[in-house]
Amino acid sequence: MSTAGGSGRPRVRTGYGVVEGRTGPGGTASFRGIPYAAPPVGALRFAAPAPPAAWDGVRDAGAFGPTAPKVPYPPKFAALLPDPEVPGDDCLNLNVWTPEPAPGARLPVMVWLHGGALTRGSSAVPVYDGSAFARDGVVLVSVNYRLGVLGYGLFPDAPANRGLLDQIAALTWVRENIEAFGGDPDRVTVFGESAGAISVGALLGAPRAAGLFAQAALQSGAPEVLPREKVRAMVRRMASLLKVPATAGAFAATALPDLLAAQGAVLRRSSPLTGGPAFGLVADPDTLPVDPLEAATAADVPLLLGWTTEEYRLWLAPTGALPLMDRLGPLTLALARARSGKDRAAVRALRAALPGAGPAELAGQLLTDRLLRDPLRRLAGARRSASSFLYEFGWPSGVPGLGACHALELGFVFDTLDVPEASWLAGRDAPQELADRMHAAWVRFAVTGDPGWAAWDGDGPPMVFGGPRREESSVPVVTPAVTPPVLP
C-alpha cells in the first residue's frame, strides 16, 4: 500500500506499520531509518536478530537511523573515509530509495552492504546515496548491521556471525516488504564493497539466505572465513583488558563505551594487508556450514566481480609506509612473498610488467593478488552454472599518492561524485563520464544480469574502467574493445 502524506511526503505500509518518506530529485522517494529488527540491546546485544516491534500511526522515515556502535577510523584514514555516527540503540535499520513507491511497479532491487573491515562504516555514508539508482529505475536498499565484537566476536554462549544474521534479516525484510515500495522481490541483487563484498560471498553460502536474492556483485572483497581461533583471540584480548570472562554474558554486562574502548585497543594491531588479529566471519554449522568460496563457485546466480588496480595504496599511502617499504628493499619483497605465497618467478614476472616499480609497489601488487585478484579470478574461472563478469577500476585519484586505491570506485558506482565527501578520496574534478559508464553498468546488471561486456571465460583481461594518468600509477591497464553502454 502507498498513500499520499503531506507535500513531498509519500507513505508506504510495511508489515510493521506505515512509514513516511521524502520526495527527492526527479520525483524519486527515499525512506530512511526503517527498523528491520529489534534494537540489539540488553539480552539481545549478542543474540540473533529479533523481529522489530510493530507501531501504530505513521513513523517518520525522513532521516538516517542510528548507526551500529563502532570505533572511529584513525585520523589519517578519517580524512579520506567519511563515517558518520548517528546515536541511538535502534541500529538494525535500512533505507529505501525508489522511483515509484507503490505496489505493482515490480522494479529491480539492489541491496547494498557497506564496507569498513566489519568494524566501521554505515549506510549513512553520503557517497552511498541511492538517488541515482532510483532515478534510473532501480529500488536501492542500504543496510546497517552489527560490527566488531558485537557482530563478529566469537563466544561460547552466543551465536556466531551475528552481523551475517543481521544481513539475512534485512534481506528477509526486503523479501517481505519491498513490493510495497515498487520493488520486485524476485529480482534482488545484493552487492557490497570490501567487508560488504566478503559478506555477499558469505550470503552465497548461508542456508538461511537461500532464495533471498537472484544475483550478486562483489567489489574488492573475496569470499572468505577466518580461523575460529584468530577471532576468539580478539575476544580474549578484549576480556583481558576489561578484566572479565571471555563470554557473551560478561560482555553484555559491560558498559558499551568500555567495550568499544577495548575493541579499539585490540584493533590497532590489525591490518588487511599484513594480517594479525581481526574480527570476521567464521565457519559455523548453523550459520555458515560450507566454505563461502566453494559456495560461490557452485551458486547458480550471475556474479559481478572486481577490484581496483592499486588496492593497497589506501592502507599504505596515508601512513607513509610506502617510502619505508622502498627503503627496506629486499626485506619488503621477502615479507610480501611469504604473506602472498608467491614464488620468485612471480616477482620476476611482476618486475617485467612494471618496469621501474619499487619494492613497495611490487609488494602491494603481490598482496593484492593474494587477497583479491587471485581468488576472484579462480572463482570466476571455476563457475559453470552461471555467468561471471570481471572488472578492474584503474582511474587514479586526484589525491596525491592514492592512485587507483581501495574504495575509490564507490562514488562512480553510486554516481555521487557531486557529494562533497566523494572528493575526500577521489580529489577534485573526477570524471563524470566515467561515473556515467560505471553506474550504468551496475544498473544494467541489476536489470538484465549482464553489465554490458562478455562473461569471463577464464582468460584475457577484465573490463577496465579508467586508466593511469600519472607516473605514480604505473600498473598497466588494457582498455577492452567493448565498453558498457550508458543507459538513457
Residue 131: active-site member: no
Sort residue 396 into left (φ over 0), alpha (ψ -120 to 50) or beta.
beta
Q: Is the pLDDT of residue 4 over 60?
A: no
Among the residue ranges 201-215, 223-237, 289-303, 469-483, the one predicted with the least confidence is 469-483
Helix (H, G, I), strand (E, B) or coil at 370: helix
Residue 385: active-site member: no
Residue 54 to residue 44: CA distance in whole angstroms: 17
Give me the catalytic one of 397, 406, 409, 439.
Answer: 406
Q: Which three cell numbers stand for residue 207?
A: 542456508
Q: Is the pLDDT of residue 473 over 50?
A: no
User: By the 8 A CB rule, do 180 and 14 touch?
Assistant: yes
Closest CA to 222 of 449, 375, 98: 375
Q: Which residue has the cell 577534485?
A: 428
CA angle at 347 for the pair 344 and 353, rounded to the nearest 5°: 145
Q: What is the pLDDT of residue 278?
A: 84
User: By the 8 A CB rule, do 114 and 82 touch?
Assistant: no
Q: What is the pLDDT of residue 385?
A: 87
Confidence of residue 198 (pLDDT cuts 50, 70, 90): very high
Condensed to tens digits (0 to 9), the pLDDT of residues 306-341 reads 999 999 999 999 999 999 999 999 999 999 888 888
User: Could you tell me the sign of the dihedral formed by the alpha carbons of 414, 417, 423, 425, in that order?
Assistant: positive
Find the largest Cα–Cα distance for the chain.
67
Q: Which three cell numbers stand for residue 69?
A: 556502535
Condensed to tens digits (0 to 9), the pLDDT of residues 62-97 reads 999 999 999 999 999 999 999 999 999 999 999 999
For the beta carbon of residue 184, count every other beta carbon within 10 angstroms. 15
CA angle at 115 for the pair 68 and 12, rounded to the nearest 5°: 60
Residue 311: active-site member: yes
Condensed to tens digits (0 to 9), the pLDDT of residues 420-430 reads 999 999 999 99
Give the DSSP H or E segment for 231: helix 228-242
User: Could you tell me the sign of the dihedral formed by the alpha carbons of 203, 204, 206, 207, in that order?
Assistant: positive
> Cα–chain-centroid distance for residue 17?
29
Give me the catalytic one of 122, 131, 194, 220.
Answer: 194
Q: CB neighbours of 32 closer than 8 A, spacing ≥ 6?
A: 21, 61, 62, 63, 64, 65, 95, 96
Q: What is the pLDDT of residue 223?
A: 95
Give me the catalytic one of 179, 193, 311, 421.
Answer: 311
